[in-house]
A and B are shown apart, each in its own frame.
Chain A
Amino acid sequence: MKFYGGCDSGSTYTKCVIMDETGKIRSDVTLRSKIRTVESCQDAINQAVEKVPELNSPADLSYLVGTGYGRNKVPSADENISEISCHAMGVHVVDPTVHAIIDIGGQDVKGIAVDTDGTVLNFAMNDKCSAGTGRFFEAMSRAFEMSLEDFSKLSLSAKNTIPITSQCTVFAESEVISLVGEGKPTDEIAAGIELSVAKRCFVMAKKAGATDRITLTGGCAKNDGLKKAIEQVLNLKVIDLPVDPQLIGAIGAAEFARRKGSAK
């Protein structure tokens, strides 16, 4: 049996997936990214390999694809492929009926339209600004002095929404602190934050040409409050994936590795 690896080196989390030659996912690992990208990738790959009894070391992988912001620093990778292509392929592997993706990672937001063969039809992404990304949520939950999970739950309990006017992470944090200081209901502020990010996602999805059968990927896809807000602004039900949405990039990379490795 041959095995193939995909390592998604994200700005916040590093993910690794190992797939066998039939396309079955045999192991996955998600680690907080360290300052040294190579080290984070090596740790993730080693841990993923350890979970597969047939593998002794990363060298036993027949093909390894790196993706994500640190894709060209994945040790021993045979190739690197952009996270945009990998997310499209990853989603296609787990649910071929999906037509579009909103990927919200640690430092960027992307809208990706997916073709019927899992390739990218079109995409749009933010530039250098971190507004509406995982970093933004981290800053907001820090302002609320709570975990990301609790922040999401808090927003879901709101009956109304207090709009957040600033898209900038720094200014939005300042605005939130002011609103909390004024004694405004925290759940409504949290719902306002989710809505402001959802609107940014709306723009990316529309720019990419997404119309229907949209799913969320990336770490922020686990934020139920954001998911609800996105469904509200897009006026449709977001498709739930049968796997951890944070792993999609790594799954896509592993699938590319499987296809390329088999063709070798």
Chain B
Amino acid sequence: MRDLKHLYELEKLLLNVSNDYISAAQQEGKLCIGTVCDNVPEPLLNLPGCFSIRLRAPRTGSMEIGTYYMTNFLCEYTRALLERAIEGGFNFLDALIAPDGCSMLNRCVENMELLKTMKKDHFFNEFMEIPMKADDNGLFLYKLQCTNHILKPLKEHFAIDISDDAMRQAVKEHNRVCDLIQEIGQFRKADNPVITGYEFHILTLATYVMPKRDIIPILEETLEELKTREPDEKSPWKVRVEFVGSEVDDSDIIKAIEECGAYVCADRFCYGSFPGRTRIEMSDDEDPLTAICRKYMYDCQCARMMNKDKILGRRQYVADLAKEYKADGIIYEQMKFCDPWAYERMVGTVVLRQDYGYPVLSVDRPYANGGSGQMRTRVQAFVESIEIKKLAKDR
């Protein structure tokens, strides 16, 4: 297939934490608000006058200092973030909102604060509590936490407009990004798709790390490009897989999977499109903060949510996506030492195999280094086992 016009630019952009779009927006006087977790409602960080980015630590090398503060029993994502913060990699941030999505992220940002890693005079940190059960009490808590730890501080520190109208405007922009990503994602349903899972992940990942206003025209142009893009004559993939699990901001792992012959037709992970890039439904009868919190709480697929409906719902969600996107198998991943996903992966693997009948490859992985030889061997063997069974069934 012909290269996508914006792919190279976005690949390059994702090699660093900051990028030209962030710098340009800041030069215009806009404030860059960082976050580390999907549980912080993004539209609230994208009110007029500010924009959000999800923190990553691309090209991570040694994590010795991060490990010293965090111990090697905590996940590498949090250690890599702390290491990058100590190296000065997040100095461009104007504020950082951290939820207790997991205690590891909390410890990570707490260490950033204690070590005074951010250099701007007006910089501030906020820590939010996130409900562990999705119900009315949880919604009340969520709204309270968003008000006290996002909206009020943004208004007090930076005089940001936190009115309902401002929130509606932010949701509108957020929904435009989601709609574009979802429309682009639909191309993955084709038997011989015009977009690779890797390309889709690059596009999706970019929506988390640059101002929404700048990614929208790129997505619009890419969507039009895809409508006329010719696929390769013969599909290069042997099987289709859904990629499921914890935080994934390393596109190399998707690339490695696809190089082993498995098309990543659906994504259900943190930094992916499901549920991160699904629209927030608004109505005139409900205030926007409630609508935003409702969406984030009820649609959240994070393993930290503990009510039974949520636990069972997560497996159903994965199975439904696999069916919708015609996946032959599921790759269930978990970052090493990620506690919530360690349990979720183990149980999810068994349930999706036994109750839903999907072949499942279960892997734990380091934060970076997704294309390692042993990961490739596992994926290739998984692809071969599905392919051989498929061929036998067809015969």
Residues of A within 8 A of B (CB): 69, 81-85, 108, 117, 119-121, 123, 125-128
Stretch from B250-258, B285-293, B371-379 at the A interface:
B371-379
Whether A125 contacts B374 by the Cβ 8 Å rule is yes
| Main SS class of interface, B | helix
A85-B385 in contact (CB<8A): yes
Q: Which residues on the B side are within 8 Å of A81 (C-beta)?
A: 380, 384
**Interface pair B377/A83, CB less than 8 Å apart:** yes
CB of B304 to closest CB in A, whole Å: 25
Using Cβ atoms and an 8 Å threshold, which residues of chain A touch B364? 127
Given A119-B388, A127-B364, check contact A85 B381 (CB 8 Å): yes
Q: Is the Cβ of A125 less than 8 Å from the Cβ of B378?
A: yes
9 A-B residue contacts at CB 8 Å?
A81-B380, A81-B384, A82-B384, A85-B384, A120-B381, A120-B384, A120-B385, A123-B381, A125-B377
CB distance from A158 to the nearest CB of B (A): 33
> What are the residues of chain B within 8 A of A82 when measuring CB–CB?
377, 380-381, 384
User: What are the residues of chain A within 8 A of B374 when measuring CB–CB?
Assistant: 108, 125-128
User: Count of A-B contacts with CB under 8 A?
Assistant: 41
Known contacts: A127-B364, A128-B372. The answer to whether A119 contacts B377 by CB under 8 A is: no
CA distance A127 to B385 in the complex (A): 20
Across-interface contacts of A126 in B (CB, < 8 A): 374
Q: Which residue of A lies closest to B385 (CB)?
A: A120
Is B389 on the interface with A (CB-CB < 8 A)? yes
Q: Which residue of A lies closest to B388 (CB)?
A: A119
Contacts of B377 in A (CB 8 A): 69, 82-84, 125
> Which of B364, B385, B389 has most A Cβ within 10 Å?
B385
How many angstroms from the CA of A120 to the CA of B387 in the assembled complex? 11
Tell me the nearest residue of chain B to A108, going by C-beta: B374
Measured between C-beta atoms, what is the minimum distance from B189 to chain A in Å? 28
Of residues 212 through 227 on chain B, the ones whose CB sits less than 8 Å from some CB of chain A are none
| Residues of B participating in the A interface, judged by any CB pair closer than 8 Å | 364-366, 372-374, 377-378, 380-381, 384-385, 388-389, 392
For residue B196, give the distance in angstroms from its CB to the closest CB of chain A.
20
Other-chain contact of B381, A69, A84, A117 (Cβ < 8 Å): A84
In the assembled complex, which residues on chain B have CB atoms less than 8 Å from the CB atom of A123? 378, 381
Known: A81-B384, A82-B377, A128-B366. 9 other contacts (CB 8 A): A69-B377, A82-B380, A82-B381, A84-B384, A108-B374, A119-B385, A119-B388, A123-B381, A128-B374
Closest beta carbon of chain A to B61's beta carbon, Å: 16
Q: In the assembly, what is the distance between CA of A212 and CA of B385, in Å?
A: 21
**Residues of chain A within 8 A of B389, CB atoms compared:** 119
B73 to chain A, nearest CB (A): 16
Top 8 A-B pairs ranked by shortest CB distance? Answer: A84-B381, A82-B381, A82-B380, A120-B385, A85-B384, A119-B388, A82-B377, A85-B381
Q: How far is the CA of A48 from the CA of B366 in the complex (A)?
A: 39
Q: Which residue of A lies closest to B363 (CB)?
A: A127
A69: which B residues are within 8 A, CB to CB? 373, 377
Tell me the smallest distance from the CB of B337 to a CB of chain A, in Å.
Answer: 13
Closest to A84 in B: B381
What chain A residues lie within 8 Å of B365 (beta carbons)?
127
Q: How far is the CA of A119 from the CA of B389 in the complex (A)?
A: 8
Q: How far is the CA of A83 from the CA of B389 in the complex (A)?
A: 17
Given the complex of chains A and B, what is the CA–CA distance between A89 and B374 in angstroms? Answer: 20
Measured in the bound complex, the distance between the Cα atoms of B381 and A108 in whole Å is 15
Complex alpha-carbon distance, A144 and B98, angstroms = 53
Q: How far is the CA of A69 from the CA of B381 in the complex (A)?
A: 12
Q: How far is the CA of A125 from the CA of B382 in the complex (A)?
A: 12
Which B residues are in CB contact (< 8 Å) with A108?
Answer: 374
Bound state CA distance, A126 and B336, in angstroms? Answer: 13
Closest-CB distance, B362 to chain A (whole angstroms): 9
Minimum CB–CB distance for B388 against chain A, Å: 5
Bound-state Cα–Cα, A119 to B388, Å:
7
CB distance from A257 to the nearest CB of B (A): 14
Task: For residue B72, give the distance in angstroms from its CB to the closest CB of chain A.
Answer: 13
Closest Cβ–Cβ distance, residue B89 to chain A (whole Å): 25
In the bound complex, what is the Cα–Cα distance between A127 and B335 (angstroms)?
13
What A residues does B392 contact at CB under 8 A?
A: 117, 119
Residues of B within 8 A of A121 (CB): 385
Inside 8 A of B373's CB, which chain A residues have their CB?
A: 69
B36 to chain A, nearest CB (A): 25
Residues of B within 8 A of A128 (CB): 366, 372, 374
Q: Point out the residues of chain B lying under 8 angstroms from A120, CB to CB.
A: 381, 384-385
- How far apart sit A83 and B384, CA to CA, in the bound complex (Å)? 11
Nearest residue (CB) in B for A85 is B384
| A253 vs B372: C-alpha distance when bound (angstroms) | 22
Of all chain B residues, the one with the shortest Cβ separation from A207 is B362
CA distance in complex: A127, B373 (Å): 9
Shortest CB–CB separation between residue A134 and chain B, in angstroms? 15
- Among B364, B365, B381, residue most surrounded by chain A Cβ atoms (within 10 Å): B381
CB B234 to nearest CB in A, in angstroms, measures 16
User: In whole angstroms, what is the CA distance A128 to B366 when docked?
Assistant: 10
- CA of A117 to CA of B392, assembled, Å: 10
Closest chain A residue, CB of each to CB of B381:
A84
Complex: chain A residue closest to B379, CB-CB = A82
- Least Cβ–Cβ distance between B342 and chain A, in angstroms: 14
Q: A121 vs B366: C-alpha distance in the bound complex, in angstroms? A: 25
Contacts of A83 in B (CB 8 A): 377, 381
Chain A residue with Cβ nearest B380: A82
- Closest chain-A Cβ to B360's Cβ sits at a distance in Å of 9
Q: Which residue of B lies closest to A72 (CB)?
A: B376
- Complex: A82 Cα to B361 Cα, angstroms: 15
Q: Which residues of A contact B385 (CB under 8 A)?
A: 85, 119-121
